[in-house]
């Protein structure tokens, strides 16, 4: 009788461990989450474009548990002097929020800030003459602010 009860309890415990283990594995982010995050937070235009595409199809990335929330350019204008900086600010927020959640923010802050500046300069590259100069000056100011206070 005791042997049958012990066997039954052991089988129940094994089933419970299997169910809990499977549920935990199903809820865990894919193993390449850090690599995907890194690929979307580089200084290159291709990294920016990959992130923009993913942002437009967030449902496809739901298993990764990324934080897509943003306050855009925080307390600064999102489109200063008419320059469309809001998407660059959103990608910057994405990097900050997700690296903080991963516990690796300090190691990545400088690169995220540099990527932000490169994104802003790419916006400015679409202008010419004095307008480009003004845009680049504004981009520099935004970069210095996140570098110091971000």
The full 3-state SS of the chain, as one line of letters, equals CHHHHHHHHHHHHHHHHHHHHHHHHHHCCCCCHHHHHHHCCCCCHHHHHHHHHHHCCHHHHHHHCCCCCCCCCCCCCCCHHHCCCHHHHHHHHHHHHHHHHHCCHHHHHHHHHHHHHHHHHHHHCCCCHHHHHHHHHHHHHHHHHHHHHC
Q: Is 92 a catalytic residue?
A: yes
Active-site pick, 51, 83, 92, 124: 92
Catalytic residue positions?
A: 92
């Amino acid at each position: 009788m005791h042997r049958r009860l012990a066997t039954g309890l052991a089988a129940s415990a094994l089933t419970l461990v299997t169910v809990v283990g499977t549920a935990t594995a199903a809820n865990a982010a894919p193993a390449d989450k850090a690599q995907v995050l890194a690929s979307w937070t580089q200084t290159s235009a291709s990294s920016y474009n990959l992130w923009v595409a993913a942002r437009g199809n967030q449902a496809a990335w739901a298993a990764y548990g990324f934080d897509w929330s943003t306050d855009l350019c925080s307390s600064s204008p999102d489109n200063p002097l008419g320059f469309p900086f809001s998407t660059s600010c959103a990608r910057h927020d994405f990097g900050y929020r997700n690296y903080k959640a991963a516990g690796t923010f300090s190691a990545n802050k400088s690169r995220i800030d540099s990527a932000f500046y490169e994104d802003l300069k790419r916006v400015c590259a679409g202008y010419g003459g004095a307008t480009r100069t003004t845009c680049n000056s504004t981009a520099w100011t935004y970069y210095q602010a996140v570098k110091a206070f971000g």
